[in-house]
Structure 1
């Protein structure tokens, strides 16, 4: 039961949001299914108001669709959705690195190399449990240089939508390919080549066309 004396309205809504995200992540709320609002409210011991606000939050991020008088539908992720997501993230990340290439320091580069090497070691060892988290850390290392918080907040839920709902079995070959992209990207940063770094992000790493073979395998017709 979520409700407690120290929780205010805002934090209660956030707790409900996180609970629903977790249920999706665990596969207990599956794409194409509907959410029983009354049942969830009863399970958590909350009123429908914070639940409704949590669902609006999820709808804004693309996880669900609220159907008036019909309920709440957990969205499926189509290949067209994935294409649009890749185009969006690639465009934003490329813009950020072009605009902030002069802010990249040796510390950033060392951090990126460390994370990428760690990812490669874990992939080769068959340990893919931290792939998504490590990948986020890699990308956030340079995205956080930007002072445009709106752009960063805009693409984060898109990434979660792509890779964290529902939890997929990662493809080692794809992740190793991504690490190669990362290494090429780092080399561009060392040269202060913002255009080259942006091209790797937008035209290779986040290119739906380039990645489509792996995407189709990963989502398995989702």
Structure 2
């Protein structure tokens, strides 16, 4: 990795560290050596510390004074809390802002859902998370509440922070079917029912629990 040459170094260092997590180079329970990374990137420790503070606020790391930086493990309780939070926020956005969701938004949702279905049928999961995030961003970004938009994305990233290889096609297809049901309610202008699908089914920890346990069992700290 060469030296970073960007105007906003802390943001670029943040993106670099997140990429290292996604690629499996920074794993849960490992420590981050500030001096080594600063040297590798050719930067001072200040933008690196700023990036680490950002990551700590989002729950990715814990800064331990005079001891270093620990990459946090994801617990099943974290997954549960994330699902509940995302479900509530997305449902609120759709129910309160249904008038902001236009036919072009719906067309984009249909296109992305079709891409996901085809990828699953082809057993290609290389972009499934990115496409899914893009799907949900279509209607989240239609909201005029920028605070909610900024709040929700780190929670989703926390769910997908480390590499996953135990894809469950049955679960992915069921998610796409829930997407389809959600889109149908949007076409009807029924924000309340569309929100219910998100809150009570798609992002419901209890409804998705069996698949959640199967998906995260190798990478998440489970209850004793």
TM bucket (normalised to shorter chain) is over 0.9
Give 5+ residue unaligned stretches, structure 2. none
Alpha-carbon distance between aligned partners in 2 of 1:23 and 1:115, rounded to the nearest angstrom: 27
How many Å apart are 1:217 and its aligned residue? 1.2
- Other-structure match for 2:164: 168
How does 1:46-195 map onto structure 2 within 5 Å? 46-163=43-160, 165-169=161-165, 170-195=167-192
Instruction: Describe the SS at the equivalent of 2:69.
Output: strand
RMSD of aligned alpha carbons: 1.2
How many Å apart are 1:152 and its aligned residue? 0.8
How does 1:32-47 map onto structure 2 within 5 Å? 32-47=29-44
How many aligned residue pairs are there? 217
1:219 equivalent to 2:216? Answer: yes
CA contact (8 A) 1:34 1:72 kept: yes
Instruction: Describe the SS at the equivalent of 1:91.
Output: helix
- Other-structure match for 1:2: 3
Deviation larger for 84-93 or 111-120: 111-120
How many Å apart are 1:111 and its aligned residue? 1.6
Instruction: Describe the SS at the equivalent of 1:166.
Output: coil
Deviation larger for 75-84 or 33-42: 33-42
Instruction: Describe the SS at the equivalent of 2:24.
Output: coil
- Other-structure match for 2:205: 208
CA contact (8 A) 2:34 2:48 kept: yes
Deviation larger for 211-220 or 76-85: 211-220
Q: Normalising by structure 2, report the TM-score.
A: 0.93
Deviation larger for 99-108 or 178-187: 99-108
Alpha-carbon distance between aligned partners in 1 of 2:37 and 2:105, rounded to the nearest angstrom: 44
Cα deviation, 1:45-100, whole Å, max 9, x if unaligned, reads 21111110010011111110111121111000000000000111111000000011
Alpha-carbon distance between aligned partners in 2 of 1:73 and 1:66, rounded to the nearest angstrom: 6
Give 5+ residue unaligned stretches, structure 1. none
Q: Which of 26, 30, 38 pairs up with 2:27?
A: 30
